[in-house]
Structure 1
């Protein structure tokens, strides 16, 4: 895997695009600038890596649009050392962005092929702050809970109760919620009494969150 001056220049252009669309958190923009997105693409498709568009990665899944990754990450308000649960590893790109922001990432993928492939890519990139799990995202990962932040990167028909239970008071969960092809991006903040305050941030389109593992 090679990261050339050309790739870095394309990333700089991508950062300008997503900043123009409303991403203002400098730490998020720096992570997008730092992580080579083309590493997550098969070599035949690397020319698409810095388009601000989603792209198929196999198993019926996509690598999310860079703006969407940055938007969800910005809503998380990531701090160095945060313990973050990600549901839906996919390509591994979102996990790499979080790790580049010095978070500790626990990421779950239900598709065995993607689970293996994303680990191989991340290992080659040298990230040490990411732990991978094959499993059902609706169950979360209770063994490592509670988490400072949780991110769901697939369209959930509802907010999973078990996942909510694994969030620390004061923490955020960011997820696209809704049935069908369009979901509403939501952020739920857990209060000290265990109740949640919910905010909405517009409509997005994600592949569906499915129970079980494959």
Structure 2
């Protein structure tokens, strides 16, 4: 996971929190999806909360704008406290990491699985993953308060068929439309889009040949 994402995420959290103070009076739904621009790519976040707005499960997917480097991380919580981290490189060397913690944050299990061997994680590695977990949760909190929502689906000549089957017309700005046009020209493969909707407007995050709906989590599958 790019380290610069942490700095940018904190800036986004501060901005969103400032813009969304009026939204504090109502609670977000228990299952949410949001995202933001990260270092040379985008971060998409899905989350399930309990009845007290404490996280149960949070899944983040970092996707670079070009080349390999997709990283999926699953954070699991017990009573709002981080219990487990599972991090997987979806391409490249298939590096995967698993960490479990006690209620006081002590590591109870750790493993790094490479293509040909297993490794232990250093104390610095563990501290970094814990730090990233705190920051991604803070940004997710801020985006949820700001009612910033992630939408994904298949591009169909000016419309998008969302992963839930609904067909919408996003109404992107000219720059976003040009981006989509460049990707679809002379491209015979279906194109998927990911974008954000919120009180401050709409932002196209990603255009790709990957079928986002094939793996997009739902409340029942996360």
User: Which TM-score applies when normalising by structure 1?
Assistant: 0.31
Identify the structure with the greater helix proportion.
Answer: 1
Q: Please tell me whether Structure 1 or Structure 2 has the larger radius of gyration of its CA atoms.
A: 2
User: Which TM-score applies when normalising by structure 2?
Assistant: 0.30
Identify the structure with the greater strand proportion.
Answer: 2
